[in-house]
Amino acid sequence: MLDYKSIITKRYVLNLSFREIAEQVGGSKSGVSDFIAAFKRCDRLEYPLPEGITNYAIYEMVYGKPADGGERDASYALPDYAEIHKQMSSRQNMTLLFLWNRYKKQCIKSEEKYYSYRQFCARYAIWCDDNDETARFNAVIGQTIEVDFAGQTFDLISPSSGEITKIVVFVAILPYSQMIYAEGMTSTKEPQWIEVNNNALKYFGGVTPIIICDNCKQAVLANTDWIQPDLNKDYAEWAEHNGTTVLPAKVRRPKYKSHVENAVGILEKGFFHILEERQYFSLEAFNEDLWEELDKLNHEPFKKKDHDRYYYWKEEQEELLELPPEPYVYTERKVAKVSGDCHIRFDNAYYSVDKAFKHKPVMVKATTDRVKIYSMDGHFICEHMRASHRGQWITDPSHLPKDFNGYRDWSADFFIKEAMTVGPNTVAVIKRILASRKYEIQTYRLCRGVLAFAKKYEKQVLEECCRQALSQGHVTYTTIKNTIPVIAEEIGTPEVRSKINEERNRGAFVMNADAMDVDNLLKKSSDLAAKTNHGKKVIK
């Protein structure tokens, strides 16, 4: 049986493709796609899933039939696999062959058909995968750390726009002491994945010889045989840097990381209910609350042990391997070109570069918090703090020309003169845009974009669009971009309207006007009826 809970979580929380989900759960792309389609059609179940629901219940509610599908031949006696598993788990040196012989003798005695030893073992393996969700490996002090994502997400509200971003929670645990670390993330890409793993090791005060993770794409590229998984290059380098080994869990085998699965359940059934009742406008505020509640949990006494997680962690910390002097730093590399405004664009943000490199390519090397820029021959140029949001401009004034006017091509005078060839309203808009940023040079791209519409839609269209923007008090490049196509259709020349229609219909099939003529449709119907009846013998 597929892990339907995992499929739904990976689709609706992590927004993975059907191919990525199939690789991680060990199924086929079409099987995952068909299940998601059936899940969407199901009116009895929706995301988020009810607490405690099993894969069997999901299957029955989505497909309207029991999970076994009636495939088992009922004439064979079904072994008591719960009892068999109990015997295998509790009795030393117990074997499946011994238990099969016992099952066989019971069936012969009661004159029932029994499974062959091969079928007996195969069905026991299936039963373990589908039912033994609480099975665990013995926790050895200082041996492993298990990491995973929680299924529950939280909303992060942008204070300026009201846009909602999902917070995904990373969870790590030391199985012996049950010490838990968690951290909220708004992005699960490789840089953030490396960062939260670094933070977990710092929190635990050391590293273990083995890191057990889920088969997420940030950690594993392929895990077909489990013995030699194909790890993400950056995560493999991270493990080598920290002197540990990454061992992904078997695909569709949650028991291989049962401790972190249990930790996720503790969080989701515990203080996550407190956090979901609050509104968060920054990731820092969410993590502060998360860590406060987590600290309480780690200091809360166990019900069946004498002490708390923190007590046993102090004992386990002595067995952890030492961390390297400096944490592993994920570095993104990209070639960018310095534009006429002395800035490069990287990861949807803008960073200034010295004017001497204007119109030249440079090498960008970025970590989670810093952006370093080098010349193509490897010489360091400058460094910036990494932008915190899309579209942010980070400018060092020393990088800019001392006198913008008349400097090379782009300047305030240059754009104003260009706007004067269009009209007074366009001039007013350009002046407003030039004054909209702390550094005038940061607006040059916007000015260039506005003036480019004069060539695309005609000058009179841009002038009217600027007049409306000024009258409405919304003088931005985005406003001009979104409204000018409508104005062009209203007052533009036939050539402009024709061009707009061509762009709108690009790639579409244009039907001949005669195709919908009534006489033509009736004739097609008659011809079709004649072809259908041709050759048929009419019985009277």
Q: If we measure between CA atoms, which residue out of 77, 66, 219 comes closest to residue 148?
A: 219
Residue 204 confidence (pLDDT): 94
CA–CA gap between residue 114 and residue 103 (Å, rounded) = 8
Q: If we measure between CA atoms, which residue out of 170, 243, 255 comes closest to residue 208?
A: 243
Residue 361 confidence (pLDDT): 93
For 144-317, CATH number?
3.30.420.10
Residue 130 confidence (pLDDT): 60
Give domain limits for the chain: 4-63, 81-131, 144-317, 332-399, 412-504
Residue 511 confidence (pLDDT): 60
| Residue 212 backbone phi and psi in degrees, to 5 | -100, 125
CA–CA gap between residue 478 and residue 488 (Å, rounded) = 16
Residue 65 confidence (pLDDT): 65
Pairing relationship of beta strands 144-157 and 380-385 according to DSSP bridges: unpaired
Residue 225 confidence (pLDDT): 45
pTM: 0.46
What are the helix (H) ranges across 26-171?
29-41, 55-63, 81-90, 96-109, 117-131
Pairing relationship of beta strands 380-385 and 370-375 according to DSSP bridges: antiparallel
Place of tokens 């534009």: 339
CA–CA gap between residue 430 and residue 466 (Å, rounded) = 9
pLDDT in tens, the chain (540 residues): 567 888 888 888 778 888 888 777 766 777 788 888 888 888 888 888 877 677 777 877 887 765 554 455 677 888 888 788 777 776 655 677 788 889 999 999 988 888 887 678 767 766 766 654 443 445 678 888 898 888 889 999 988 778 888 999 999 999 989 999 999 998 888 888 889 999 999 999 999 888 888 766 666 654 444 444 566 677 888 888 888 877 776 544 445 577 888 899 899 888 999 998 899 999 999 999 999 999 999 999 988 788 899 999 999 998 898 999 988 888 788 899 998 778 898 888 889 899 889 889 999 988 878 899 999 888 899 999 888 777 777 888 888 776 544 344 567 888 888 899 989 999 999 999 888 887 777 788 888 889 989 888 888 889 999 999 998 888 888 888 888 888 888 887 777 776 766 666 555 555 665 666 667 767 777 777 776 665 544 443
